[in-house]
Amino acid sequence: MSFQTIFPSSPLTISVVVPVKNGGAGFRKCLSALIQTMSPSNELVVVADGDTDGSWRVAEEFGAKVLRIPVSQGPAKARNLGAQLAQGDILFFIDADVVPHPDAIAQVEAAFRHDPQLAALFGSYDQEPAESNFLSQYKNLSHHYVHQISNEEASTFWAGCGAIRRQIFLQMGGFDESYKKPCIEDIELGYRLKQAGYRIRLLKDLQVKHLKRWGIISMTKSDFFDRALPWTELILRDRRFVNDLNLRLSNRLSVIFTYGLLITLVGGIGWPKLFWVVGILILLLLILNAPIYRFFLQKRGLWFLIRALPWHWFYYFYSGLAFAIGLARSLFYRDRSQKPKVSSPLKGTPDPSHVLENR
């Protein structure tokens, strides 16, 4: 099949697909921003994933096509169902807790129209998250920085603000529905797209404002159990150590130096001469991560940077721990298949036994 067949030259239509579970006030802000940027040729599809706060009614107020899943099955399933209902050439996935910038849909349409061989693209959070507490600022700025310095020819995908040609999405089987909660289902899809030879672009100017408030427990739990552990398993499964995003060589070296720092700090209690090694390791960590530390300093000042340092090194600690656990698991379960597993290839229309349409 030729690219001309896959990618018609006629004007592109866009279906915005938003999975939501108890979206609250942030969800209304998300839809309000989306509606203001959409043209008559676009459509809005909302999948209420077992919500109990009436988010589906809010979606109907904004004229969306609404699907209701009685019992929550996770955003991967919700997005897949939304994709089946959607009619547009392009599926634009948006999280329910973000506010897209006014030109977001126009940017997506222009990128695909100007690059007929582009299969998918994604953007990033902006520099101004809605929540002002330190951890929300730190988490958001870290995400923004990583995306802004990464390769535009991307090696994966992000569904918080990501678009893909609908025909390719269906051919690839959509998101892996074995991920039952917000996890790395988008990264996994990106890996399969690259393995199939498709191009993914990181569109750095395509940005959304994140509304989520992060706390110590929520951030650590999400980073470790929902990101680091499953991403490690995915890397080991596909043998994809790409020098991009959070997998850069500097990040890997930082993990090693962080563990070295921890070991020397403990060892220095009984052997004080080790403490000079502590200074060297701290210096190495500062040098390796100088670009992001300068970024923190420029955007939020010295006090923010000082508070960010231990959290950044803690991130390296649990990333290394996750890799060690993932490696141990892979060695223990060597008989597991190394092929990507997708729960159910997408075909036809949503199964009415799982979904109730409210239109």
Claim to verify: residue 126 and residue 18 sit in the same structural domain = yes
Lowest mean per-residue pLDDT among 128-142, 314-328, 345-359: 345-359
Highest mean pLDDT among 72-86, 244-258, 314-328: 72-86
Claim to verify: residue 84 and residue 195 sit in the same structural domain = yes
Claim to verify: residue 16 and residue 69 sit in the same structural domain = yes
Claim to verify: residue 64 and residue 160 sit in the same structural domain = yes
Q: What is the SS3 assignment for 268?
A: coil
Distance CA 355, CA 19 (A): 13
Hey, what are 81's tokens? Answer: 């169902």
**Which residue pairs from 6-9 have beta carbons closer than 8 angstroms and sit at least 24 positions apart in sequence?**
6/165, 6/167, 6/168, 7/116, 7/117, 7/165, 8/89, 9/116
Yes or no: say if 16 and 164 are a contact pair by the CB < 8 Å rule: no
CA distances from 255 to 244, 285, 305 (A): 16, 9, 19
Give the pLDDT band of residue 349 (cuts 50, 70, 90): very low
Claim to verify: residue 17 and residue 140 sit in the same structural domain = yes
Residue at 139 is within a domain = yes
In this prediction the pTM is 0.87
pLDDT in tens, 285-298: 999 999 999 999 99
pLDDT in tens, 18-55: 999 999 999 999 999 999 989 888 999 999 999 999 99
Claim to verify: residue 110 and residue 253 sit in the same structural domain = no
Provide the domain count of the chain: 2
Q: Which of 214, 232, 267 finishes a domain?
A: 214
Which amino acid is residue 49, in one-letter code?
D
Give the pLDDT band of residue 73 (cuts 50, 70, 90): very high
Residue at 126 is within a domain = yes
Mean pLDDT estimate for the chain? 87
pLDDT in tens, 271-284: 777 778 888 999 99
| Predicted pLDDT at 179 | 92
Residue at 118 is within a domain = yes
| Predicted pLDDT at 257 | 92
Residue at 120 is within a domain = yes
Residue at 240 is within a domain = no
| Predicted pLDDT at 346 | 62
| Predicted pLDDT at 238 | 66
Number of Cβ within a 10 Å radius of residue 150: 19
Claim to verify: residue 102 and residue 186 sit in the same structural domain = yes
pLDDT in tens, 177-193: 999 888 899 999 999 99
Claim to verify: residue 32 and residue 168 sit in the same structural domain = yes
Residue at 24 is within a domain = yes
Claim to verify: residue 72 and residue 179 sit in the same structural domain = yes
| Predicted pLDDT at 310 | 95
Claim to verify: residue 308 and residue 178 sit in the same structural domain = no
Provide mean pLDDT across the span 324-346. 61
| Predicted pLDDT at 294 | 97
| Predicted pLDDT at 246 | 52
Beta-carbon-side half-sphere exposure of residue 91 (alpha carbons within 13 Å)? 30
| Predicted pLDDT at 289 | 96
Claim to verify: residue 184 and residue 313 sit in the same structural domain = no
pLDDT in tens, 138-160: 999 999 999 999 999 998 999 99
pLDDT in tens, 311-328: 999 999 998 898 888 888
Residue at 222 is within a domain = no
User: Which residues neighbour 279 within 8 Å (Cβ) at sequence distance 6 or greater?
Assistant: none
| Percentage with pLDDT > 90 across the chain | 69
Claim to verify: residue 261 and residue 116 sit in the same structural domain = no
Q: Which residue range(s) make up the domain with 251?
A: 245-332
Yes or no: say if 198 and 120 are a contact pair by the CB < 8 Å rule: yes
| Predicted pLDDT at 329 | 79
Residue 34 belongs to a domain with what CATH number?
Answer: 3.90.550.10
Residue at 280 is within a domain = yes
